[in-house]
Amino acid sequence: MEKVLKALGIKDINDGCSTGKNFFASGDIIESYSPVDGKLIAKVKVANESDYEKVIQVASEAFKVWRNVPAPKRGEIVRQFGEKLRAKKEDLGRLVSYEMGKSYQEGLGEVQEMIDICDFAVGVSRQLYGLTMHSERENHRMYEQWHPLGIVGIISAFNFPVAVWNWNTALAWICGDVCVWKPSSKVPLCAVACHHIWNEVAAANDLPEGISCLLVSPGSIGEKMCEDGRVPLVSATGSTRVGRIVGAKVAARFGRSILELGGNNAIIISNHADLQTSLPGIVFGAVGTAGQRCTSTRRLIIHEDIYDDVKNKLINAYKQLVIGDPLNEKNHVGPLIDKNAVKDYLTSIERVIAEGGKFIVPGGVLEGKGYESGCYVKPCIAEAKNDFEIVQHETFAPILYIMKYKTIEEAIELQNGVPQGLSSSIYTLNMREMERFLSASGSDCGIANVNIGTSGAEIGGAFGGEKETGGGRESGSDSWKAYMRRQTNTINYGTKLTLAQGIKFDI
């Protein structure tokens, strides 16, 4: 790991702020421990209020320059950033895996998502289209155009330490915005590493400071950003608890927010499903990233005719799971992020039992050789009811709830019967069921899949969810529009003033 850290510019003690050139910070020092082996990776000095002020001022000045750079030229900078990521993919992927605890394959996958969104954004930089409308008035032309917003504040969660930042920045940059990133303090080194990479691109192109800024900082600085009228858009990824604070604070000053919050994702397994091909996807959705994906599968809604069969197959599949060091490709399940997450996992298990649930695959914390960090837990399965309080709540750990249904209508009602609305899926070969699930009276989630699981979205689609998941959309499709302001322009090229709606005003 020493070589990886060196290649990414990580020292024993790092400054957690950057405006795109040097690093600085005047706040406290935090330590980043790996959940993989419990060892200290490195320390980071965080931002205090005066660092925050400096960063916002530099970013404000940078915006005045960046907004006037032609969008395809901004795209060229993003292209170069994507190229740098290609060169650093293995190192950054390894750091993501070691600091966050996801498998090395998933760490690489996260960096690949960054590369993909850069490619996507380069294309979009030539397609920031507005519409042209026909004016109702003679000799008038009417059209709309999209302008950049200004500073985009990005608050990110620990479980996607690098990709979510880049989903936002790649689009924001080509749109002409500048970005200020407050990453999760649980994975600060990934953020510092990303900024070293950005700073190289900024230097090579002689860019003004402030187009990409970093503020490793506590939640209080995130809150300050939410209250700051100089930050027109805050894109926040995290729990519903934090999203509630962010959403309210940004709305109170009429700012805009993109909220990407918790999920409580279900798969419906129909009696028409092809179980042979579906089981691996279902198990990966539930235990992959140790259940720490916003799109992790938390509930299985199984048709009563195949319930016992699926249950037995799941018990069997879980017996084969190998838990251990995520950097070792032979292991299926790595650690939770920290001991607080382990505590939440144990509390949730107790609550399932207290509410009448029955574990068919029991949970527990692993101890001994290879599990010294104290963060490795057993993926578990409980038979539970959808209306249990604990089932209605997102526990960020590998706990899977299973339940029965009779009719497709009942299954959809169960699937929708939680406060969150991120991802959903149905396994069926029955066309009527599939279309019912995808129809307006089907899944109420932002993502609805057929014959694939709830996790693992592609960057080409708009990503996000409804209800308490926050309603935000990021990444593909026309998500770029959230990073711009729309302006409608009407031009009179005639010799008469004509009022709209036929209004007469003679003077």
What is the nearest approach in angstroms of ligand NAD to the Cβ of residue 435? 26
26 touches 50 (CB < 8 A): yes
What is the nearest approach in angstroms of ligand NAD to the Cβ of residue 291? 10
Site residues for ligand NAD, 385-424, by CB under 6 A, read: 394, 396, 422
Nearer to ligand NAD, 67 or 481 (CB): 481
**How many CB atoms are closer than 10 A to CB 495?**
6
Instruction: Decide: is 468 part of the binding site for ligand NAD (CB under 6 A).
Output: no
Nearer to ligand NAD, 77 or 164 (CB): 164
AA identity, residue 150: G
Instruction: Decide: is 223 part of the binding site for ligand NAD (CB under 6 A).
Output: yes
Catalytic residue among 99, 110, 260, 474: 260
Instruction: Decide: is 184 part of the binding site for ligand NAD (CB under 6 A).
Output: yes
Instruction: Decide: is 294 part of the binding site for ligand NAD (CB under 6 A).
Output: yes
Q: Pick the piece of the chain touching ligand NAD (CB under 6 A) from 10-18, 216-224, 430-438, 497-505.
A: 216-224
Instruction: Decide: is 17 part of the binding site for ligand NAD (CB under 6 A).
Output: no
Active site residue 294: yes
266 touches 301 (CB < 8 A): yes
What is the nearest approach in angstroms of ligand NAD to the Cβ of residue 344? 10
**How many CB atoms are closer than 10 A to CB 48?**
18
Phi, psi of 223 (to 5 degrees): -65, -40
- What residues contact 96, with CB distance under 8 A and at least 6 apart? 102, 106, 107, 110, 111, 161, 162, 187, 190
Nearer to ligand NAD, 124 or 457 (CB): 457
Instruction: Decide: is 344 part of the binding site for ligand NAD (CB under 6 A).
Output: no
Active site residue 433: no
- What share of residues in the chain are helix, strand, coil (percent, to 5)? 40, 20, 40
Q: Pick the piece of the chain touching ligand NAD (CB under 6 A) from 19-27, 36-44, 71-79, 256-264.
A: 256-264
Instruction: Decide: is 257 part of the binding site for ligand NAD (CB under 6 A).
Output: no
Site residues for ligand NAD, 24-53, by CB under 6 A, read: none
- Strand 178-182, strand 297-303: pairing: unpaired
Which x/- pattern, by CB under 6 A, does the window 429-448 give for ligand NAD? --------------------
Nearest alpha-carbon partner for 374 in 12, 104, 101? 101
Cα separation, 51 vs 38, in Å, equals 30
Site residues for ligand NAD, 141-170, by CB under 6 A, read: 155-160
CA separation, residue 55 to residues 27, 60, 194, 489 (Å): 14, 9, 17, 34
Catalytic residue among 118, 194, 226, 294: 294
- Strand 212-215, strand 29-33: pairing: unpaired
Nearest alpha-carbon partner for 255 in 6, 485, 496, 3? 485
| DSSP labels, 83-122 | HHHHHHHHHHHHHHHHHH---HHHHHHHHHHHHHHHHHHH
Which x/- pattern, by CB under 6 A, does the window 469-488 give for ligand NAD? x-------------------
Q: Pick the piece of the chain touching ligand NAD (CB under 6 A) from 5-13, 233-241, 435-443, 492-500.
A: 233-241
The footprint of ligand NAD (CB under 6 A) covers 155-160, 182, 184-185, 219, 222-223, 226, 237-239, 242, 245-246, 260-263, 294, 394, 396, 422, 465, 469
The residues that are catalytic are 260, 294
